[in-house]
Amino acid sequence: MMRTRQRKNKVNKIGLQTVLLTALFMFSVGCNKEPVQAPPPPPAQSVKPKTAVQKPVSSLKVPPAQVNQMDFSTKKDPFKPYISVKAVTPAELAKQKLEMKPVLPLHSFDVSQFRLIGTVADVKGNRAMVEDPAKKGYVLRVGMTIGKNEGKITKIDSTGVDVVEQFRDENNKVRKETIRIPLLRKP
Whether this model's pTM surpasses 0.75 = no
> What is the average pLDDT across 98-112?
78
Give the confidence band of 76 by pLDDT, cuts at 50, 70, 90. Answer: confident
Q: Is the pLDDT of residue 187 over 60?
A: no
Q: Compute, in degrees rounded to 10, the torsion defined by CA atoms 101, 104, 105, 108.
A: -10
Q: Give the model's pLDDT for residue 163.
A: 95
> What is the average pLDDT across 38-47?
65
Mean pLDDT, the chain, integer: 80
Q: Which of 47-56, 98-107, 142-151, 178-187 has the highest mean pLDDT?
A: 142-151
Range of lowest pLDDT (4-18, 20-34, 70-84):
20-34
Alpha helices in 1-89 (DSSP H): 2-31
164 within 8 A of 176, measured Cβ to Cβ = yes
Q: Give the model's pLDDT for residue 153.
A: 95
Distances (CA, A) of 138 to 45, 57, 175: 108, 95, 27
Neighbours of 145 (CB within 10 A): 16
Q: Give the model's pLDDT for residue 142.
A: 94
Task: Give the side-chain half-sphere CA count within 13 A for 6.
Answer: 3
* 103-182 fold: SH3 type barrels. (2.30.30)
In the chain, the percentage of residues whose pLDDT exceeds 70 is 72
Cβ contacts of 131 within 8 Å, gap of 6 or more = 114, 115, 117, 137, 138
Q: Give the model's pLDDT for residue 53.
A: 66
Type of residue at 51: T
Q: Give the model's pLDDT for residue 160.
A: 93
Q: Is 101 left (phi over 0), alpha (psi -120 to 50) or beta?
A: beta
Q: Give the model's pLDDT for residue 38.
A: 66
159 within 8 A of 148, measured Cβ to Cβ = no
DSSP letter (8 states) at residue 74? T
Query: E strands along 72-169, which residues?
Result: 115-120, 127-131, 137-141, 145-146, 151-156, 160-168
